[in-house]
Structure formats: C-alpha cells, structure tokens
Structure 1
Amino acid sequence: MPYPNFKLSFIASIIAAFSVVSSAVAADDQTKPNVVYIMSDDVGWGDLSVHGGGVPTPNIDRLFSRGVEMTQFMGWCVCSPTRAMLLTGRHPIRVGTGPEVGGELALEETTIAEGFKANGYRTGVFGKWHNGNDPDTPKFRAAFAEAFKHMPNKKLEGGHGVNSHGFDEAWIYYGGGSDFFNRRTVKGNGPVSWWHNLEFREQDKGYTDDLVTERAIEFIRDSKDKPFFCYVPFHIAHAPLQAKDGDLAAIDPKLAAKLHAASEKTTEEDKHVHAAMLHSMDLNVAAIEAELEKLGLSENTILVFTSDNGAMEAGSSLPLRGHKHSIYDGGVRLPTVFRWPKGGLVGGRQWDGLCGALDMFPTLMGMTGSTMPSTQPLDGKDVWPALRDNQPSPVESYYFVWRDEDAIRTDKWKLHRFFNRFELYDIVTDDIEANNVADANPEVVKSLTAKMDAWSESLGLALGHQPAPAKYHAPAAPEGEVLAVTVTISENAKPRDRLSISLANWNGTQYATDWVEYDIAFSPNTPKRHPYYSTLEGNNSKPFGPLFKLGTGVDQFGRDQVIGPGIADGKSVWEHRIVGLSSTAPGPLGKHGVVFSGGKAGTFTIYLDNLRIRHVDGSTTPLWTNRKDTRAGNFKENEFFKDIKVQTVNVADVRQ
C-alpha cells in the first residue's frame, strides 16, 4: 500500500531537514565568539609594566600589545559595585550593591550570564563573587556554627548562590579579603568560603588563584565545542598580602623595595609580597591564553583583562591621582584591554572612548551577535559599534558617589562635589587631576551639577554630603513619650573630646537610598556646639564611631551634624531633620545614638522622637518611638563626661 511508504518518506524528509537545521545551528554555534573576562582585584593603573610599573608583567603586556587598550574604562573604587556593574549593566546604587562593598544581588536582576545562557552559551565563573553571601546548605551551616561557637547568637544570612544568577559552572568564594592558602576565611573569622556550585568544599588545598585558573582552564577545555562565557574574577592583588615561595623567589626584593606604593606606610616586605602576587597573576593570565591557543580558540575568543578598582596600599595607580577608596581616576579608571582577532581587536591600538564595566553586558551581547534579554532598564550602553569603527563613544557620563563626595566623569571633564566645594578637572589636558579649574569654569560646573542631580534623582540617592531635596522636608511632630539624654560635661573636656551613647538598634540592611530622620530638641542651656544624633555603627565602621564625620552627615538645611547645629528657627523648641545615609551603604546600621562634645562645662540634655529610616519607596522603619524602643548601650562615664541619664519624659515637659 502506498500510504505507509509515503509516511516513511515524509518522516525521512523531516529528519533530513532537521539534520540540515541542526548542522546550521551547530555551524552557527561554532562561529559565535567565546568570551573570557578576566577581572583582577585591586590592580591599579601603575601596577602593570605596560604602564610603567616596576614589576615585570610580560604576559599581560603582550596581551596589551596584541589587543586594543580601552584607555578610559571606568569601574568603581571598591570591589562589589564594579562586579555588579558588569553583571547587570545597571548602576550599583540601583541594584543595592554600592557605594561600599556588600549587598546581595537580587534574583530579579537579569545578569550577563543569563543573557549568554539564553543565547546558547555555556557559562562559568571562577574566583571571587562578592555580590552575595555563602548559600545556606546543611554542611555550610554546620561549619558556620562551629566557626562562631563562641558567638551562639550570630545568625547565618544565607545568599542565593552564584548558580541562581545564570552560571552553569562555578568554583568561587563569596566574600572579600580571604586567606589565599587553604583556609579561605576572611581575617581568620568564620568558615572557609570555597564552593563548587552548591557543594561546600572546605577540604580543598592550594593557592586560591591557582585553583581558580585550573578550574577556568578545565571549563574552557570542556566547552571547546560550544560557545562559552568564562568569567574569571581573580583574588590577586587583594589583601591579605600572601604569595607562594616560588613567586617570592622570582622577584628581587631590592627591586621591589624601590617600588612606589599607594600608602607611605607600606613596608619593604609588603612591596615584595605584592610584587610576587602580580608575578603570579601574570603567569595565570598566560596559562589561560595558552590554553585558548592550544585549543585553536584564540582567534574567535573575546579575551578581556581588567580590574575592579584602583591599587591597594601596596600597589600603584600612577600616574593617575588616587587609588582604591577614592573616586579620583586612580581609584575608578581601570587598566583594560580587549583582544579578539576575528573581530579586528588586534594590533596594540588604543580606543579613547568613555566606557566601563557598566557597559559590558550590552556591549558583549552586541559583539557576539547575541539577542539582548529582557532586563530592567539599563544604564550601560553598547559601545561595540563605536569601538569597532574607532568612533566616539555613545556613553555620555559615569557617575560615582563615595562617602563625602559624588563625582561625574565625561569624555572631557571630571567634577567632584563635596559638602563645601567643587573640584573640576579638564581630563583631556589634565588626566592626573592636578589643576582644579572650577572657579574659571562656572558654567561647566553648573551644567555638570545639573547632570549629577539628574543621576542622583534617577537613582533615588540619599546623599549624606548634600541637603535632602525639598520633597523630604517635614515639620517636627513629637508626641507622648520622648527620649531624653542628659550628660554633665567637665571643665577639662576639650572640643575634640566626645562621648557616643548608643540608644537604639536596627537589625536591617541600610542602602544608599535610605535616609534617617528624627525630631530633635535641646535643653535651654545647651552650648553653641550642640549634642547631635549620629549613626554609631555601620559598614566599614568601628562600633561607636560615631559614623557621621565632617561632610557625611548634612541635614536638609545644609548643616553638618558634626558641628552640632542648634534649632534653625530660634522661636521653635523642636526641629525635624533628615540626613542621607549613602556614605556607608550597603550593610548593617546596627547602632544609633547621640554624641556629646566638650568645650563648655555644665549639664545638658538632648531630646529625640520619631527616629526612623525612610526608604526610597516612601515606607519607613521605626528606630525609636517610645520607651520600649530604648536600647541603651554599655557606655562608661569618664573624667570628661559624667552623670549620664537616659530616660523618657513627656513632650509637654520639653521647654525652650
């Protein structure tokens, strides 16, 4: 009968057609470029010998000589934000990972790994994550409990895990500053952080970056027949300064002793170890590149070498001004090279277009011919057409905020805004930011300030060094019980002598979009330098700081809290204040209280009510509203500050 034969013939034709399609897809897969993105840690502009650094980095130099150097490539001045910029293409403040380190990257954020995976790529990450916490698995929970058995109340805050962000294969550690040898703990505290996907592997031995390189090469080898995205965030040259004996022997300590360091306190031994670490990194970069060449993949692999921020204390960002923990270009302008022979990125050329980690998600999607996935609104731009054709960059500006300042960088200008001044630099003629031309260019300052304000408004930033926008201003509204703190200050107490009294706790995480607001009043005899409210503990702070420092605790009237301002309206008893908390985010803001300063003897009282955190969505978290919220710390009286009394009184008893 003809029907069965027709059916078989039809099926055969479908199989043949499918085979043709499959072959086409396979061929297309083979033509898609691979991506290897190497991000060093705390490696500054002047750490590489290609930029005049004193430590020979011949393999990285060779990469620069055969690729295209991105001379105006921006990141952040610390680890986590730059990594989040790469992963999401969004400003780190927008994703809750800046300006300081820390923050758990939300699952709602679409990552570059998810983008590549949706386009048929195999994805892997090998090294330092620092965009979230170790996952909460039974084995890790047991290790956590053992490590902190002396702190039984310490709570494990488990993270999502790196695989949940689109990575098929991962060999990583989650924090920052961990030991390089075997015990990958941070400053000796807590359990080891070393994982293969969701498998906790505290037993693995070896130098961290050697393990990272070994696993990255293994991934490349296993993925050679399919396009892959291989993200290699090295740990070198982050503290602690630790190097292998062989690398130390390869570096002449006398040569290392002559090296410039970002900190004058760096010892000759530290310089030697740091130089040996750079040597080790150079060898590992060479090993990855050699594997690509061995497998015949180097021609169609986009190989990137960059850093996450400027040099640490033992390193160098010269000739640029600043280093890690600074938003001068030495802290945020990163040594970066792209090499992709098939795409024309060869020859030791330079491209001077403004770009950076923020632009890498859309740019690498464009370079690989991949479809950009659906994401939340991006801040980064696809710079590939401009890079390919050697044209000006489509990126208009990069915006940074850091502790007591914010800054904007364009292709020509860099404007820094502090509490009480501006600094403007013509980057084209003065890329070391040596000659402040703000006074000579008021219109430029005005124009760039407007752009900074637009960035800040877009991000919902709560700037600690600038007054809160008018929409946040409100009248004081104390009622019922209010907090009263009384202290007797001796005649021997000088203005530099201070007493911090903890009064309230908060176990939540504070972000750069959070404000602290409160109602405040003073006893009639209060001196000119009034007591003031301050956060006392937060990210990168010592307990009972106080955290507000000059230029980081400015209220809506433009007054720095550290100077102890009184009530702006002399006819009022109470005043409402709101202060931005961007300077210490993200992280815990555990303790809140008041600060008394010396300079005038007597007994003085400060009153507080309605102490709360205001979030970007308009919601608030109460910190102190009445007697039950009082969490007085273990403060001690001394020769300068005595008779400390923390109590509540009725608002009607507070007089001018």
Structure 2
Amino acid sequence: MHCRLRVCARARSLWGGPGVVAWIGAIALVAATLQIAPAQSPPNILLIVSDDQGYNDLGMLGNGILTPNLDRLAAEGTRLTNYYVAWPACTPSRAALLTGRYPQRNGIYDMIRNEAPDYGHRYSSSEYAVTFERIGGMDEREVLLPELLAAGGYRSGIYGKWDLGTLKRFLPTSRGFDDFYGFVNTGIDYFTHERYGVPSMYRNATPTVEDRGEYCTHLFAREALRFLDTTGDDTPFLLYVPFNAPHMSSSLDPKLRSTVQAPEEFKTLYPPVLQEFRSVDNYRYGGAAEVVTAAAKKRDYRAAVTCMDAEIGRLLNNLEAQGTLDNTIVIFFSDNGGSGGADNSPLRGHKGQTWEGGIRVPCIVRWPAGGVPANAVSDAFLSSLELVPSLAAACNVSLPPDLILDGFDWWPVLRGQANSPRSEMFWQRKELLAARVGKWKWVHMGDTAQGLFDLSNDPAERHNLAEEFPDAARAVQARLHAWQTEMEQAEPRGPFRDY
C-alpha cells in the first residue's frame, strides 16, 4: 500500500525555527498530524463502441456533424488518428477487442449472421432456431476482458450490441459480464428490436420484448445509467456500451433498410432535405421499391450519431456528478469503418473493405488520473488489440501466463513516454487482404484492386507504388504470408475452423 504524508502549514513553518525545543515541537506536531492516505482507487472503465461510424464523423473535424460530447472527450483527452480495428465489419472486430487476439486466432474471423434476409427472406421462429446466426458463437475456451478483470474485483455490465452468439452458453453473462441488456446479433430495427422480423433483445440470458417501440439508443443509455447508479462506490467497474448507432436498420422494409432510424428531434437539428424517397426498379432482392434519397440517408445517419452523442453526454455527466470521471478510463471508437451516410475522408473505402476507410477508425481516450494528456492528438500506430493488455495493466490485473495476446500496454505511448512498439498489423476478410508494415501497406481487394501504398505520404491510398518499389512490395507480402502461417498454426478455435 502506498502512503502519503500530509503536514499542516504550521508544522512546516516550525522546521525553520531556532533551537532544539522548536525542532522537537515540530516533530511532535508533525507526528500528531501524520495521516496515511489510501492508494488511488483502481480506475473504472467506460468503453463505448459505435457501429459503422466514419473516420471523419466527429464535430471537431468540421464536416458539419454535431457531436458536442465526443468533442468534449477529445478536448479532455487524446484523439488517436492512427488507430485500427482488427476486421472491417462487426462480429470479428468485437471479438478481437474483447480478447486482445486477432480474429484468425480467437476463431471469429467472419460474421455470425444469416444471408437469406439479403434476398428478402423472413425466417419463421422454428426455421431461425437452427440457422447459423442462432447457433454460432465464440469458442468457449476464449477468455474475455470481463473475465480477466473479475480477478481484480471488477463488476461488469454490457448494454447494447453483443454479436458473439445467441445461445445461453455464448451470451455475455456466460462470458464474464455480470449484467446485460441488449441485442444478441448483428443488427436490429431501432424501434421493434427485431432483426428482419426476429425478436432479438435480451435481459441477461432471457429474451425480452419489454421495451418494444422505444428507440434502442435511449434504452442502452438508460441501462448503463442504472448500472452506474447501482454499483457501489468501493467497487471498480467495466461498463461496456456498444451502441448499434449509426448502423443501418435491419428491416425488410426498403424505406427502413435503406437508412438509419433516428428520432425526429435529432433529425430537425439538420437542414431539411428536398426529397425523402426515390423509386428504384430493383432493390436488393428484386422488384421496384421506395428507398431513401442520399440526402435523407446522410441526415438520418447524422441524427443517429448526434442522438448517441447526447446519451454519451449523460454518462459523462453522471460520472462527473459522482466525482469519479477523472479516474474513469473512457475509451470511444467505432467498430469498423463507416457506411451508409458516413464520411470516411480523407481515407479510401468503407466498411467491409481492407482499404484504410474500412479498418482505421476514430478513437478518443480520456483518463486524466492516468496521465493521458488533454486536448492532444496522437498519430501513434495503435489498435483495438491493445485494449485487453492495456486495461489489465491499468487495473493491476495479472494475465494468464499461457494467454497469447496480439497487443501490448499502450499507456506509455499515450503518456508520451515511448513510441508505439506496433510496427505491423494484418487483416483478412475472405479474399480481401491487407498488411501494414511500418509506413508501407499492401492491399488486395480481390479482383477490384491491389497495390502498395506509402501511408506516411498517402493515407488516402491513391498512388500504387508496387512497380516503383518492388522490393518493399515483396517484403510486406512476405510478412503477410508469415502472419497467415502463424494464424494457421495457432491452436484452432471455432466456430469456423475444421479441427
């Protein structure tokens, strides 16, 4: 236990008095006023993840979107401009951030979802019960962040999007979380809480329709605030709030599916659009349909982000009122690159792609008590793989000696005490590949495009330098192949691997 000596002003002045009597008197007074102050309390953790938010979609960056509370976070913390997630879409990205392991190592290297709704099919209850979206889940041998932090006395809650399995053995309360309210699959209708007609909301391990009709962003914040209000002052916590905003709505109705649902009060914060809907001859699964215009989609997307931002503000205000905000590690980022009405500029590409716009995302870290600078911007090469080792280190929690992690403790980097030890990172989504080694990035987008790019001069990946620097191209590809070999040789995990 650390202690601190606190000496009153009168005692300090006596140290300078003449003679032994004064000196002895000072000693006595100091001894009488000595107090042992407790060590700084373990930090709390508020981990906020948005869904499909664009790299440039923060108000402070000047594109017109309204995010005053995220702007506040950035002003009081450090914004990361070179921060990557481990996969360009939902499920594997979330598995990686909770395990600290590449998707190819933890076993969730593709989506746990059904494809039939893409063709207009609505599942019956009995049919859905035996689909992969219902029965797939993260390998039970994987150790998640809340399980690790429980050893340090942490209480944990998750409110929002889970996306790592719907059977009871895969649900959050079976994987280390103490409390859960949210939906269990990839996306829902924001009001009905259904995924293409399938009810998807759970409270802990039980399906629920108790809040049907209420906007889910409000619900997730409500539950997160309840968690804060019911967690004792002497109990450190992990509060994970994975909003589904601003993900597109999962509905078979083209008017909903073609946009992001948002409350009207937040839509009115943006300029009105001239035309809400347009007619198309062939929408996704065939047939004419009415869908939203590009202008309406952009407005709806921004309104959903601003609504989420308002709820983030409520969480910050609650912590501030409790006097715990400064010793709460607040981390915000998007699970992957933006889509729909998102703005990923100046990056190329979007969600689902291995261009920078699919894997480099906005990220903000606030922790004044931990020495994270305020109003700072860091271009250090960092990733979501760093979260597990970094949070374990901050919480003074030992990691299992046999646990292989793909990240590191990033606090020295964020404090400006060291350069990032990350020099490379790799991505694979089916045939889509990418490798970053130092300043170089190799991209293989299937039959669409491929090439070598110098991210230090060309973050927008406009200039393919493969022919100009063939040795660099071969070197980066060699590192990619070595990583693929390492992942293949790793202890296999389900649900996709054959073992």
TM-score band w.r.t. shorter chain? 0.7 to 0.9
Tell me the secondary structure at the aligned position of residue 361 of structure 2. Answer: coil
Cα-to-partner distance string for 1:556-586 (whole Å, 9 max, x where unaligned): xxxxxxxxxxxxxxxxxxxxxxxxxxxxxxx
- Distance in 2 (CA, whole Å) between partners of 1:48 and 1:119 is 34
Match of 1:110 in 2: 143
* Residues matched between the structures, number: 411
Residue 152 of structure 1: aligned partner:
none
After TM superposition, the structure 1 = structure 2 runs for residues 33-432 of structure 1, keeping only pairs within 5 Å, are 33-75=43-85, 76-102=87-113, 103-135=136-168, 160-181=170-191, 183-188=192-197, 190=198, 192-205=199-212, 206-225=214-233, 226-240=235-249, 241-254=260-273, 267-374=294-401, 376-417=403-444, 422-432=450-460
Task: Give SS of 1:451's match.
Answer: helix
Please report how far the alpha carbon of residue 428 of structure 1 lies from its aligned counterpart in structure 2 after TM superposition: 0.9
Instruction: Tell me the secondary structure at the aligned position of residue 250 of structure 1.
Output: coil
Change (3 A) 1:353 1:411: farther
What is the alpha-carbon distance in structure 2 between the residues aligned to residue 418 and residue 232 of structure 1? Answer: 32
Q: Cα–Cα, structure 1 residues 230 and 510, in superposed 2: closer, same or farther, change >3 Å?
A: closer
Q: Post-superposition shift, 1:266?
A: 5.0
| In structure 1, C-alpha distance between the alignment counterparts of 2:241 and 2:265, rounded to whole Å | 23
1:389 and 1:367 mapped to 2: Cα distance? 16
Aligned AA (2:435): I
Task: State the secondary structure of the residue aligned to 1:93.
Answer: helix
Partner Cα separation in structure 1 for residue 316 and residue 480 of structure 2: 40
- How far is 1:27 from its partner? 4.9
2:288 aligns with: none
Query: Match of 1:98, as an amino acid?
Result: Y
Asked if the contact 1:194/1:201 (under 8 Å) is kept, the reply is yes
In the TM superposition, what are the counterparts of 1:470-619 in structure 2 within 5 Å?
A: 511=496, 513=497, 615=498, 617=499
Equivalent pair of 1:422/1:438 in contact (CA under 8 Å): no
**Is this contact kept in 2: 1:256–1:271, CA < 8 A?**
no
Give 1:329 deviation, angstroms.
0.8
Q: Which residue of 2 aligns with 1:153?
A: none
Deviations 1:367-393 (A, max 9, x none): 232222455311122222222234221
Question: Is there any run of 5+ residues in structure 2 with no aligned partner, and where?
Answer: 1-35, 114-135, 250-259, 277-290
Q: Which residue does the alignment assign to 1:143?
A: none
SS at match of 1:252: coil
Contact 1:73 1:354 in 2 (8 A): yes
For residues 134 and 249 of structure 1, the distance between their equivalents in structure 2, rounded to whole angstroms, comes to 40
Task: Indicate if the aligned counterparts of 2:50 and 2:242 stay in contact, CA closer than 8 A.
Answer: yes
Distance 2:184 2:38 in 1: 37
CA shift, 1:446, in A, is 1.5
Conserved 8 A contact 1:109-1:375: no
SS in 2 for 1:243: coil
Match of residue 459 from structure 1: 487
Normalized per residue, the structure richer in strand is: 1
User: What TM-score, normalized by structure 1, do the two folds share?
Assistant: 0.60
TM-superposed CA distance for 1:331, in Å, is: 0.7
Cα shift at 1:425: 0.8
Contact 2:332 2:364 (C-alpha < 8 Å) held by counterparts: yes
Higher RCO (CA < 8 A, seq sep 6+)? 2
Partner residue in 2 for 1:260: none
Contact 2:112 2:165 in 1 (8 A): no
Letter in 1 for 2:165: G
Give the 3 Å change call, closer, same or farther, for CA 52–323 of structure 1 in structure 2.
Answer: farther
Larger radius of gyration: 1
Pairwise CA RMSD of aligned residues? Answer: 2.5
More helix by share: 2
**Alignment deviations for residues 570-609 of structure 1 (CA, whole Å, 9 cap, x no partner):** xxxxxxxxxxxxxxxxxxxxxxxxxxxxxxxxxxxxxxxx
The one-character-per-residue Cα deviations of 1:183-232 (angstroms, maximum 9, x if unpaired) are: 211122x2x21122123221224211111011111112222511101111
Give the residue type in structure 1 aligned to 2:305.
L
**2: distance between equivalents of 1:266 and 1:390?**
49
For the residue of structure 2 that corresponds to 1:195, the secondary structure is strand
Structure 1 residues 131, 251: closer, same or farther in 2, change over 3 A?
Answer: same
Shift of 1:411: 3.7
| In 2: Cα distance, 1:53 partner to 1:106 partner | 41
Give runs of ≥4 in structure 1 deviating > 3 Å: 99-103, 254-257, 373-376, 417-422
Gap regions ≥5 residues in structure 1? 1-23, 136-158, 258-263, 462-508, 514-614, 618-656
Rounded to whole Å, the distance in 2 between the matches of 1:169 and 1:222 is 11
Letter in 1 for 2:107: G
Cα drift, residue 254 of structure 1: 4.5
CA displacement at 1:326 relative to structure 2: 0.9
Shift of 1:250: 2.4
Give the TM-score, by structure 2 length.
Answer: 0.78
Distance 2:387 2:437 in 1: 18
Q: 1:363–1:334: structure 2 CA closer, same or farther, 3 Å change rule?
A: same
The amino acid that maps onto 1:406 is L
1:44 to 1:390, Cα distance in 2 relative to 1, 3 A: farther
Paired residues of 1:134 and 1:193 also in contact (CA < 8 A): no
Distance 1:446 1:338 in 2: 36
Q: Distance in 2 between matches of 1:434 and 1:255?
A: 34
2-side partners of 1:184 and 1:91: how far apart? 30
